[in-house]
Amino acid sequence: MDLLYFVILIGSLVFVHELGHFLAAKAFGVKVITFSLGFGPKLLTLRGRETEYCLSLLPVGGYVRVLEASKSDVVLPEDRRRTFEALSLYKRIVVVLAGPAMNLVFPVLLYSSVFISDGPFLPPTIGVVLPGHPAEGKLLPGDRVMEVDGSPIGTFDELKRLVARRPGKTLRLKVFRDNSYVDVEVQVAETVERRELDIIERVGTIGVQPSAPAAVIGVADPASPAYRAGLRTFDVITHVAGEPVRRYADLVRLLSDNRGETVPVTYLRPVPVSGALGGLAELSIFDSGVAALTPDSGRPDFLGRTGIELADLYAASVPEDSYLYKAGLRVGDKIVRLDDRAVEAWSVFRERVLAEPDRPHRIDYLAARDGKVHSGSFRMRREDFVDEHGQSFARYVLRVRPWVPLAPEERVDHPTPIRYAVAKALEETIDVSRFLLVGAVRLMQGKLSLDTLSGPITIYEVAGEEGRKGADYFIWVMALISINLGLINLLPIPLLDGGQLLFLAIEGGLRRPIPMRVREVAHLIGMVLLVAMMALAFKNDVEKRWDVIVGQVKGLFG
């Protein structure tokens, strides 16, 4: 079955590539003598009006043979204007370029066929506005963004992608708020993200999240009504006086008008399971309960009346070997200040620390063990990692985490699924192409090991693995290899399309064809380079699977 997937994968990509050359040549009136899928002995031959269509034994390539006087083809008088050489320079460039171009366009169709089935999606409703970000004071939780710069949107994913592409720009948003439409202008901030292969990405952000936080509470004051009622930090409130609670905002709404009446509050309390899965995982189970909460009617603010706040700034996980644990922070403690500045939200704490990871920081926290504010100092550690490409890198990791799950909005179908699929497919194709090009540059710079090069054995295995997973997985890997094939064919190596483009560019500069002897020597050098690349890729494939190969050989010969 793996062989069938491999043949389908390679055969499809070769067909698309050669079809590009074929269609371009036909469009310009060039006579096509042979269109072959595969090399070697011909298994099947169909004769057209002037073109022979072949299916050959070896499915790892193909070719389109056009009429060329330079290759000593017999050119009849009526076909003299139908040779490849008879075309103008730019038309010959188009014919040569059409093959790789088809391999770069084909993934857009492949990705589109996958993305068209995406959904349902989160609606473009604002769940959280992060403090200190451009959207603060402009957008409100519950706002539904209908348009961005005059273009309708239907999902939060679209809003995120449009914002990411406009760092430093001002966005005009049409927002549905309180049963009316409001026009809002937001200046997009620019953030710099470092990705694999040291790719630096400049991304726009306005500081919004798609879903509101669930009703996970923090209870810091032992004298508060919530604590006296038996509620504790990280309790998940599910009902207030029988009314269901999904979001923290629902909890605030249901208790805001209370003026001292006792109400039943139903909650779920996470109870840690020690040694879960043999110590491999952190696991908690929920224990349910009901508390009789009597808010303090003499206090003006919600926190003062109830003793309840969102658990956003409460540490839910503090590993014992972490720098913050050594600074005194424990699970259940609330972060109050960082470097003598108040911390409004966990996102603010995280951004401030990661903005200056190389210097010591002072942290003030409200300890759950005694209800007092303590202080400590810490400095982040740079941790080393090795990615899947064998490239080493270091980064700072914030090892303490909060626990505030989100309450997702009801999902919606995309209003224009075809437009969404094509737009996202185009973005994905561009991103993958850029990643592969950067990888090639890193190889030439020596920053990426040559061991990362893979050959036909890897493609064979990947085709089989992804094919068995399902059509979407197989299409995804086909798109990736198609982009690879298109870019490799553009390399300026004789025998590849890129080498032919180089010859044509030189011809355009010299205003005369390159001598045949020079072309022959160049093709010989190109063949040596390609054989060397294939040998290296094959060597890497064998080395990665050497133990498996040895085991199979021993199994065959006992």
557's CB contacts (< 8 A; 6+ apart) are none
- Distance from C-alpha of 499 to C-alpha of 521, rounded to nearest angstrom: 13
Residues in contact with 293: Cβ distance below 8 Å, sequence separation at least 6, in sequence order:
225, 226, 229, 231, 255, 262, 263, 264, 265, 306
Amino acid at 208: V
Neighbour count for residue 65 (Cβ, 10 Å): 18
How far is residue 235's CA from residue 268's CA, in Å, rounded to a whole number? 6
For residue 244, cis peptide bond before it (omega within 30 degrees of 0): no
How far is residue 316's CA from residue 331's CA, in Å, rounded to a whole number? Answer: 5
Give yes or no for a contact between 446 and 67, defined as CB atoms under 8 angstroms apart. Answer: no
Task: Give which of 13, 20, 48, 18 is closest to 33, Cα–Cα.
Answer: 48
Q: Are 464 and 456 in contact (CB under 8 A)?
A: no
**Residue 190 bears catalytic tag:** no
CB atoms within 10 A of CB 292: 12
Cβ-contact 493, 501 below 8 angstroms: no
Backbone angles phi, psi at 238, to 5 degrees: -110, -30
What is each CA distance from 82 to 22, 33, 66, 95, 418, in whole angstroms? 14, 11, 9, 13, 40
Catalytic entry in 18, 309, 428, 466: 18
Work out the burial of residue 234: count CB atoms within 10 Å of its CB; fewer than 13 is exposed, 13-18 middle, 19 or more buried. Answer: buried
User: Residue type at 78?
Assistant: E
Strand-pair partners of 55:
37, 44
Instruction: Tell me whether residue 199 is exposed, middle or buried, using C-beta atoms within 10 angstroms of its C-beta: 0 to 12, 13 to 18, 19 or more.
Output: middle
User: Where are the alpha helices (H) located in 307-371, listed in sequence order?
Assistant: 323-326, 346-355
> String of b and e for 428-465 (b: at least 16 CB within 10 Å)?
bbeebbebbebbeebeeeeebeeeebbbebbbbbbbbe
Q: Please identify every residue annotated as catalytic.
A: 18
